[in-house]
Amino acid sequence: MVQAAVSEASPRSGKGLTITLWALQILAAAAFLASGGSKLAGVPQMVALFEKIGFGQWFRYLTGLLEVISAIGLLVPRYAFYGAVLLATVMVGAIAFHLTVLGGSPAAPIVLLLLTGTIAYLRRPR
């Protein structure tokens, strides 16, 4: 009797995990589409932020493009793992810039790193 209950619960937990993972992917994609879009659109705050970094505005465009393309990748099952890995890498860079150049709290990039790292782990190729 216990074995039947366990086997019935397993598909539900798999479905629940899938739904949760999709929710995380959509949340991350929305965040990175907004962030990358603001970089590509030249929002004054982003222009000033990348001016402070000191690499030039080409780096803002590159970062925005990586964020937008990877965010779209999160929404395509075949590319979700790769999009998440690329976004996690971008967040490692963002954390490093916050700690060394920009100052302020790196909490947002840390949360996004944990989120994209979790997505990459759960969407890894088997």
State phi, psi for 75 to the nearest 5 degrees: -90, -5
pLDDT tens-digit profile of 80-113? 999 999 999 999 999 999 999 999 999 999 999 9
* Domain-wise residue ranges, the chain: 21-122
Q: Categorise residue 42: left if φ over 0, alpha if ψ from -120 to 50, beta otherwise.
A: left
Instruction: Give the per-residue pLDDT at 10.
Output: 39
- For residue 56, give the nearest of 44, 65, 47, 45 by alpha carbon: 47
Given a cut of 90, is residue 2 above it in pLDDT? no
Instruction: Give the per-residue pLDDT at 55.
Output: 94
For the segment 7-20, the average pLDDT, to the nearest whole number, is 67
Distances (CA, A) of 10 to 13, 76, 114, 120: 5, 25, 26, 23
Given a cut of 50, is residue 5 above it in pLDDT? no
Cα(98)–Cα(11) distance, integer angstroms: 42
Instruction: Give the per-residue pLDDT at 126.
Output: 86
